[in-house]
C-alpha cells in the first residue's frame, strides 16, 4: 500500500497537485467583508509551502485502504478456511441481501499497549459491524473476525458492538451477532470485561423490543457465552461451534476429568442436553440460510406485526388426513409434527429446540398467511407428558410470541406431568409454574385445540380456558379430567375392588361407567369450558376462522413494574 489516510506524509504526483492561486503568493489579499462599521478587513493567508494532495490521490488512498481491510491477513484467512470456517465478511455475504451491507467503523483500532498489542493495531479490531437487509428488511449485524486476535473482545471491539445494539434498538430492527471469538482480550484486562457488561446490559434492554439472534460459528468461551443465552434464538454449527463458561483445561484441573471441546460445549451438547442452542446445523451455509428464513417470520420490533403473506383460503380448508394421523385410542402414539404440517400453510414450520425436551414441540408457522406460534405435546416421546425441561422450553417460547404480538395455538394431547422422585427434586413444581405464568400473562390471541386427552394440572397449564385462552376447541376424541379412567377408579373404588370376588370384572365395569359419565366429549362443552367440538378434518379451518375473529384483540396488562416469574 503506497500511503495511509492517517499518515499523509507521501508527496503527491504532479497530476495530483491542486494549483495555488497566484494572488495568494503575495501572502496578503484584500477581500471585501462586512465588519463593524462596514469597512473592508485585511485577511492574511498562509503561503503554500508544500503542494497539497488532490482529491484523486485521496480517493486512491481510501480505495487501497478499504481493499487492504477487506482482504485481511492472507495467512490467517487460509487457516480459517482450513478449519472449515468462513471469514466474517464471507458470512455476511451469505446472510445479507447482495450489495446491501453498509459497514460502520471499519477504521476503528485499539489503543492498548499490552503485550503483543503495541505496534499491532489492525483495522476493525477483530469485528465487522454494520447494517444490511434480509429480503429487503433492515437488520443490524456484527461478525467477529477470528483472523484478527482470534476474534477476542477488547475495548474498541466492544464499543463497535455497543453501537450496533444501540442503533438496532433506536431503529426498531432485528440484531444478528455472528460469534467466533476466543473470549476476552487478556491484555486489556478489566476494559474487556467492562465491554462485555455493556453488551449484556444492552441485550437486556433490547429484550422484547427487537428480535435478537446469535449464531455460534466458532468458539464462544467464558463470559461471552452469556450473550447467546440472552438472545431470543441461538444457532450453532456442528464440529466448529463450541460454547462454555470454563474450558476443558479448567475442568480437568478442577475435577480431574479430561473432556474434549466438543464433549464439553459442542453444538449437539447444547442442542440436546442444555437447551442453549435453538437450532443446530451441519454447515455454515445452511445455518445462515435458516437465519434468513427465521427473519422472514419475525416482526422487526414489538410495535410492528409479523410479516404476512397472501391469504391461502385456510378458513375453508378441509384436511381429512388429520383424522388418520391421530389414532382414536388415547394411548396409541403418533407424531405431532404431522399435525403441525397439516395445520400450517404449505406444511412449513420453523421448529425451535427440536433436539431438546422433545416431549413438547414449539414452532413458528403461518396459517392463512398470518404468523403464529404452535405449541404441542409430542406423544411419541414420553407419551407427551410434561416434565421440567419441556415446561421451560414451552414457557420461553410462549413469552417470546407474546412479547412480539404473535398469536398462540396450543395443540393438546397430554396425560399429565411426569411423576418421580428426580422430577420433584429437580424442581418440576417451579418449572411447571413457569409455563403457567407464561400463558397467564400472555395477551396475544390464544387458541387451544384438545385432540385427545388432557389430564390434571397439565391440562390447566396447556392454555386452558381457566387461565385465559380466548377460544377452546376439542375433537370428538377429547378426554378432559383430573386423571384417566383407570387411575380414577383405582383411587375412588380401592376398597370395593379389594373386597370384590372378581376385581377385574368390577374394575372394567367401573371404568366404563366413569368414562361414560366424566370423559365423554360433551362434558366440558356443556359446562362452557370448550367452545366447540369440531371435526378433526376442520381443525385448520377452525383455527384460521378463530385467528380472524381475534385479530383485533387488545388486552392491556395490569399496572405494575413487572411480575416475578418463578425462575
Secondary structure (3-state) at 82: helix
Helices (H), 266-310: 267-268, 284-295
CB 377, CB 415: distance < 8 Å? no
> Active-site positions?
222-223, 457-458
Q: What digits encode the pLDDT tens for the residues 159-212? A: 999 999 999 999 999 999 999 998 899 899 899 999 999 999 999 999 999 999
376 pLDDT exceeds 60?
A: yes
Distance between CA atoms of 129 and 106, rounded to whole angstroms?
8
Confidence of residue 481 (pLDDT cuts 50, 70, 90): confident
Q: Read off the C-alpha cell for 372.
A: 403464529
Torsions phi, psi for 148 (to 5 deg): -120, 115
From the number of C-beta atoms within 10 Å of its C-beta (0-12, 13-18, 19+), residue 451 rates as buried
The residues, any chain, with a CB within 8 Å of residue 40's CB and separated by 6 or more, are 30, 31, 32, 33
Q: What digits encode the pLDDT tens for the residues 65-114? A: 888 888 888 999 999 999 999 999 999 999 999 999 999 999 999 888 78
For residues 299-324, give the mean pLDDT.
96
In angstroms, the Cα distances linking 477 to 380, 417, 450, 519, 541 are 18, 21, 9, 9, 18
CB 170, CB 153: distance < 8 Å? no
pLDDT of res. 167: 98
Amino acid at each position: 500500500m503506497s500511503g495511509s489516510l492517517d499518515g499523509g506524509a507521501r508527496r503527491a504526483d504532479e497530476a495530483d497537485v491542486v494549483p495555488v492561486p497566484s494572488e495568494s503568493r503575495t501572502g496578503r489579499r484584500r477581500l471585501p467583508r462586512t465588519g463593524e462599521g462596514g469597512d473592508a478587513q485585511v485577511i492574511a493567508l498562509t503561503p503554500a509551502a508544500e503542494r497539497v494532495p488532490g482529491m484523486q490521490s485521496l480517493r486512491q488512498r481510501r480505495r487501497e485502504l478499504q481493499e487492504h481491510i477487506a482482504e485481511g491477513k492472507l495467512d490467517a484467512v487460509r487457516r480459517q478456511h482450513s478449519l472449515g470456517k468462513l471469514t466474517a465478511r464471507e458470512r455476511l455475504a451469505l446472510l445479507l441481501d447482495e450489495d446491501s451491507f453498509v459497514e460502520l467503523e471499519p477504521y476503528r483500532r485499539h489503543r492498548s499497549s499490552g503485550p503483543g498489542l503495541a505496534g499491532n493495531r489492525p483495522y476493525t479490531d477483530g469485528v465487522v459491524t454494520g447494517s444490511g437487509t434480509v429480503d429487503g428488511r433492515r437488520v443490524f449485524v456484527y461478525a467477529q473476525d477470528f483472523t484478527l486476535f482470534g476474534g477476542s473482545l477488547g475495548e474498541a471491539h466492544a464499543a463497535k458492538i455497543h453501537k450496533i445494539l444501540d442503533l438496532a434498538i433506536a431503529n426498531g430492527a432485528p440484531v444478528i451477532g455472528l460469534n467466533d471469538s476466543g473470549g476476552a482480550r487478556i491484555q486489556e484486562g478489566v476494559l474487556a470485561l467492562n465491554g462485555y457488561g455493556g453488551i449484556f446490559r444492552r441485550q437486556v434492554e433490547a429484550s422484547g423490543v427487537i428480535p435478537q439472534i446469535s449464531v455460534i460459528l466458532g468458539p464462544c468461551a467464558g463470559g461471552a457465552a452469556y450473550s447467546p443465552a440472552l438472545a431470543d434464538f441461538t444457532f450453532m454449527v456442528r464440529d466448529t461451534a463450541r460454547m462454555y463458561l470454563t474450558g476443558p483445561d479448567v475442568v480437568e484441573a478442577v475435577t480431574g476429568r479430561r473432556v474434549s471441546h466438543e464433549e464439553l460445549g459442542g453444538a449437539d451438547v447444547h442442542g440436546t442436553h442444555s437447551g442453549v442452542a435453538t437450532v443446530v446445523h451441519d454447515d455454515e451455509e445452511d445455518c445462515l440460510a435458516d437465519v434468513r428464513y427465521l427473519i422472514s417470520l419475525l416482526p422487526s420490533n414489538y410495535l410492528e406485526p409479523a410479516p404476512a403473506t397472501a391469504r391461502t383460503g385456510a378458513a375453508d380448508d378441509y384436511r381429512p388426513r388429520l383424522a388418520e394421523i391421530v389414532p382414536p385410542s388415547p394411548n396409541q402414539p403418533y407424531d405431532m409434527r404431522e399435525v403441525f404440517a397439516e395445520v400450517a400453510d404449505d406444511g412449513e414450520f420453523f421448529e425451535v429446540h427440536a433436539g431438546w425436551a422433545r416431549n413438547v414441540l414449539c414452532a413458528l408457522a403461518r396459517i392463512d398467511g398470518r404468523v403464529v406460534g404452535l405449541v404441542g405435546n409430542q406423544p411419541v416421546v414420553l407419551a407427551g407428558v410434561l416434565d421440567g425441561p419441556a415446561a421451560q422450553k414451552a414457557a420461553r417460547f410462549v413469552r417470546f410470541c407474546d412479547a412480539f404480538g404473535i398469536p398462540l395455538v396450543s395443540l393438546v394431547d397430554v396425560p399429565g406431568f411426569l411423576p418421580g422422585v428426580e422430577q420433584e427434586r429437580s424442581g418440576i413444581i417451579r418449572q411447571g409454574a413457569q409455563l403457567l405464568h407464561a400463558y397467564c400473562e400472555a395477551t396475544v390471541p390464544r387458541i387451544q385445540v384438545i385432540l385427545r386427552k388432557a389430564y390434571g394440572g397439565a391440562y390447566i397449564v396447556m392454555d386452558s380456558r381457566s387461565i385465559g385462552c380466548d377460544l377452546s376447541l376439542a375433537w370428538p376424541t377429547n378426554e378432559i379430567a383430573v386423571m384417566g379412567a383407570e387411575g380414577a377408579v383405582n383411587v375412588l373404588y380401592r376398597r370395593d375392588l379389594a373386597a370384590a370376588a372378581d376385581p377385574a370384572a368390577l374394575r372394567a365395569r367401573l371404568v366404563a361407567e366413569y368414562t361414560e359419565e366424566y370423559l365423554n366429549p360433551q362434558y366440558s362443552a356443556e359446562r362452557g369450558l370448550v367452545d366447540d367440538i369440531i371435526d378433526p378434518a376442520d381443525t385448520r379451518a377452525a383455527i384460521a376462522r378463530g385467528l380472524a375473529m381475534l385479530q383485533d384483540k387488545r388486552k392491556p396488562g395490569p399496572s405494575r413494574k413487572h411480575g416475578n416469574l418463578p425462575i
